[in-house]
């Protein structure tokens, strides 16, 4: 049984957590192209959710082509939540930005940040590479945006349709406000 004091502390903590979650949705999101010097001409505007796409079935992001070693910069300000090497993505960085969206950067040649660090929009987090399943392909950054709160209106009754609720089109979001 909780005492009145314990109940009050737990209630305040829950309300604070709810306030933080809600506040995350109201933080403004200003994105920039995550490869230094890149323009929209450096990626295929229709490659998001293109299928068939290798082992993953669909392409859940866009590939921004650039010379190997070019700076990859954070598209938004946020907390680096993951840096590591994984099979398909190679060297990857994930940044939690506003609106509870994770910005995923893959195929990096080099990682220039660490998990737990706050990065500012435009700050270098790595370099363009060909790691993971990009070995033997032209150097590029695979950039995806994943919402932590699924958007049910994006659901499609097709293969991978439920996944669509969590992946947002980076091309559309990068072009907003241009």
Rounded-to-integer distance, Cα 55 and Cα 65, Å: 21
Rounded-to-integer distance, Cα 58 and Cα 85, Å: 21
The confidence score (pLDDT) of residue 97 equals 96
**Ranges assigned E (strand) in the chain:** 62-65, 71-73, 78-86, 90-96, 101-108, 110-111, 118-119, 124-127, 140-147, 167-168
The confidence score (pLDDT) of residue 168 equals 95
Whether residue 88 is contained in a domain is answered as yes
Q: Which residue has the higher pLDDT, 167 or 15?
A: 167
Q: Which residues pair with 119 in a beta bridge?
A: 78
Is pLDDT above 80 for 55? no
Whether residue 119 is contained in a domain is answered as yes
Is pLDDT above 60 for 53? no
∠ at Cα 12 (9, 18), nearest 5°? 140
State which residues form the domain around 90. 29-175
The whole-chain average pLDDT of the chain stands at 91
Is pLDDT above 70 for 54? no
Task: List phi, psi (to 5°) of 127.
Answer: -135, 150
pLDDT in tens, 117-152: 999 999 999 999 999 999 999 999 999 999 998 999
The confidence score (pLDDT) of residue 24 equals 78
Whether residue 65 is contained in a domain is answered as yes
pLDDT band at 177 (very low <50, low <70, confident <90, very high): low
The confidence score (pLDDT) of residue 132 equals 95
Is pLDDT above 90 for 15? no
For range 41-68, the mean pLDDT: 84
Whether residue 143 is contained in a domain is answered as yes
Rounded to two decimals, what is the model's pTM? 0.88
Whether residue 4 is contained in a domain is answered as no
pLDDT in tens, 75-113: 999 999 999 999 999 999 999 999 999 999 999 999 999
Structure tokens at 116: 């737990």
Whether residue 17 is contained in a domain is answered as no
**Total domain count, the chain:** 1
The CATH number of residue 164's host domain is 2.70.70.10
Q: Tell me if 12 sits within 8 A of 23, measured CB to CB.
A: no
The confidence score (pLDDT) of residue 1 equals 61
Calculate what percentage of the chain has a pLDDT beyond 70: 94
């Amino acid at each position: 049984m909780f005492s009145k004091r314990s109940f009050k502390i737990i209630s305040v903590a829950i309300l604070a957590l709810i306030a933080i979650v809600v506040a995350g949705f109201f933080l403004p999101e200003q994105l920039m192209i995550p490869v230094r010097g890149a323009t929209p001409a450096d990626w295929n505007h229709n490659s998001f959710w293109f299928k068939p796409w290798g082992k993953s079935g669909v392409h859940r992001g866009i590939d921004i082509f650039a010379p190997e070693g070019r700076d990859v910069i954070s598209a938004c300000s946020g907390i680096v939540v993951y840096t590591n090497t994984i099979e398909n993505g190679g060297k990857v960085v994930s940044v939690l930005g506003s609106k509870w969206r994770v910005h995923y950067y893959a195929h990096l040649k080099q990682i220039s940040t660490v998990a737990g660090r706050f990065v500012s929009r435009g700050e270098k987090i790595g370099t363009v590479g060909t790691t993971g399943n990009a070995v033997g392909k032209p150097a590029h950054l695979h950039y995806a945006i994943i919402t932590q709160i699924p958007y049910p209106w994006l659901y499609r009754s097709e293969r991978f349709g439920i996944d669509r609720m969590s992946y947002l089109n980076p091309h559309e979001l990068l072009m907003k406000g241009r």
